[in-house]
Amino acid sequence: MVSVDSLEGLQLLVAEAQALGTAEARWRAVAAVEPELVERLIHGGIDPAEEVKENPPVLLAMGTGASPGVGVGVLCLTAEDVLDAVERGEDALLVCEETSPADELGMRMAAGIVTSRGGVASHAAVVARGWGIPAVVGVSNMVVGDDHVEVGDVRISTGTVISIDGGSGQVLSAAVQVEDGSGAVDAPGLDVLLSWADEVRGERIKVLANADRVEDAERARSFGAEGIGLCRTEHMFLGDRLQLVKTFLMATSPVGETEALMALGEMQREDLAGVLVAMSPLPVTVRLLDAPLHEFLGDEAPKEWREHNPMLGTRGIRLAVLREGLYRMQTRAVLAAMDDANDAGSHTQVALMLPLVSTVAELALVRGWVLAEITAWEAAEPLAVGAMIETPRAALMAGEMAVHAEFFSFGTNDLTQMVFGLSRDDVQQQMMGPYLERGLFPADPFTHLDPEVVAPLVAAATRAGRIARPGLQVGVCGEHGGDPKSIHLLVEAGVDSVSCSPFRVPVARLAAAQALIARDG
């Protein structure tokens, strides 16, 4: 079958299928369109005219394209510098070693993001994709100074206009002309094609979104998401709320801890109610807090909270075990938010997810606390409580885990990290390029799901879970949930849904349909 990679070709294909008027013609059209075309139509790219300019911009560096689209703006080295530039009326690119939750206000205002560290599952990459901001990460030959960056022998001062292509990973020396995308799925013919893809999927594979705020939920719906598969509650504890989290974590008395939890609970209630109203009546899966402590405490962490490897430290369900009040508070906040949304005339479907489980005992313990809060609340709507399968041990214990989980959601970012023994934040810095060049990895496993171990592990855990709990719903909410190649493997693995950043939802809708067509012949 000839593949279609242009808007003109897509429109012709759709017209021919409409003329034939058969389901077979619609399915053939769905199968023929390259997912990358959908991405380009939404995000745009560098205008082809740039290639024939007399003095085209110089390629400064190559990194990993982490979030598609083109960003043009003045070079800024901190989130505060971005805010200052925007206040002056300038577009700004945030260029730094890596980002953290404390940078997110500046990140949101940036026209693009570049980091010298990190990969496609790093903080910068995940946040940028969620907000539709172009990003290039892992620019290993870029050195960030106090008022400049150096790339090889080239020095670029702050305030200099540069450009990035978040699809190809290019960092360019000057402004480029941008071929704008629609920022929506309303390109002529595209909306029709995606509706046919939804027809193919039916109820077999749901496409959900990773969304944490009202505007994210609204954007996800506009792109065709059928619910939220991952609402990350830690993203609601940023900005001026960081101090409350620190107060809770470093509390030396039960009174101080309780007061901080109550304040955080009220804020979370308000935020979650807005998300539930925006997504009503579609389902929302709320993941209880899962963030490495260094993202909240930074350099202020007292000795007992300092960790050499925070990504494998006291996060997820482990923090809940140490601070029992945390997940109890979050459960009450979710229940209160459901009441608020229902009082506003919305219909809520909510599930709670316990992250980073490794043992059946810890899952059973913390699930018991959550269920106790639900029972005490006398909730009008039922809440399923499930497990996020991110550790190899949890995947290998899937049958036993399913006894205490009403659903599974695979966090393939962390699962890949732990299967390979690679840091998803550091691997791009030195290692990934040489490994790909030498053929030691067939592809970046954080971009495309590993077909040799990680995908079979997902498939085996899914089978084991369903043997223990027939009808177990299984989803994937790692970044692989928006990657077409990975989606084909996940469909073969037997998952019921994939969840991805809102801007990746259209591509996932098409890719999931294509995977089903390929599987069914």
The mean pLDDT value for 137-144 works out to 90
Is pLDDT of 247 > 70? yes
E strands in 399-482: 407-410, 473-476
Is pLDDT of 278 > 90? yes
Which residue has tokens 């962490």? 301
- 320 within 8 A of 366, measured Cβ to Cβ: yes
Is pLDDT of 180 > 80? no
- pLDDT confidence tier of residue 49, bands split at 50, 70 and 90: low
- Give the residue from 482, 512, 480, 511 showing the smallest Cα distance to 496: 512
Q: What is the pLDDT of residues 354-366, one digit of tens each?
A: 999 999 999 999 9
Is pLDDT of 107 > 60? yes
Is pLDDT of 1 > 60? no
Strand pairing report for 148-151 and 154-157 = antiparallel
The CATH T-level fold of domain 46-179 is: Glucose Oxidase; domain 1 (3.50.30)
Q: What is the pLDDT of residues 148-158, one digit of tens each?
A: 999 988 999 99
Output the pLDDT for position 51: 62
- Of residues 386 and 46, the one with the higher pLDDT is 386
The mean pLDDT value for 175-197 works out to 82
Output the pLDDT for position 130: 84
Return the axis-axis angle of helices 505-520 and 484-493, rounded to nearest 10°: 50
Tokens linked to 155: 């020095």
DSSP line for 352-419: EEE-S---HHHHHHHHHHHHHHHHHHT-SS-EEEEEEE-SHHHHHTHHHHHTT-SEEEE-HHHHHHHH
The mean pLDDT value for 286-292 works out to 89
Mean pLDDT, all residues of the chain = 90
Q: Is 96 annotated as catalytic?
A: no
Q: What is the pLDDT of residues 383-425, one digit of tens each?
A: 999 999 999 999 999 999 999 999 999 999 999 999 999 987 7
d(CA 174, CA 181): 21
d(CA 135, CA 137): 7
Instruction: List the single range of 114-123, 408-417, 441-450 with lowest mean pLDDT.
Output: 114-123
Output the pLDDT for position 137: 92
- pLDDT confidence tier of residue 89, bands split at 50, 70 and 90: very high
Q: Of residues 76, 96, 231, 477, which has the active-site annotation?
A: 477
- pLDDT confidence tier of residue 183, bands split at 50, 70 and 90: low
Q: What is the pLDDT of residues 122-137, one digit of tens each?
A: 889 988 988 889 999 9
Tokens linked to 388: 């996020």
- pLDDT confidence tier of residue 218, bands split at 50, 70 and 90: very high
The mean pLDDT value for 182-193 works out to 80
Is pLDDT of 198 > 80? yes
- 337 within 8 A of 269, measured Cβ to Cβ: yes
Output the pLDDT for position 426: 77
The mean pLDDT value for 195-214 works out to 95
Domain 207-384, CATH homologous superfamily name and number: Phosphoenolpyruvate-binding domains (3.20.20.60)
d(CA 26, CA 29): 5
Give phi and psi for 210, each to the nearest 5: -90, 110
- Of residues 437 and 474, the one with the higher pLDDT is 474
Q: Is 76 annotated as catalytic?
A: no
H or E element: which one contains 214?
helix 214-222
Q: Of residues 43, 96, 123, 500, which has the active-site annotation?
A: 123
Output the pLDDT for position 373: 95
Tell me the domain boundaries of the chain.
7-44, 46-179, 207-384
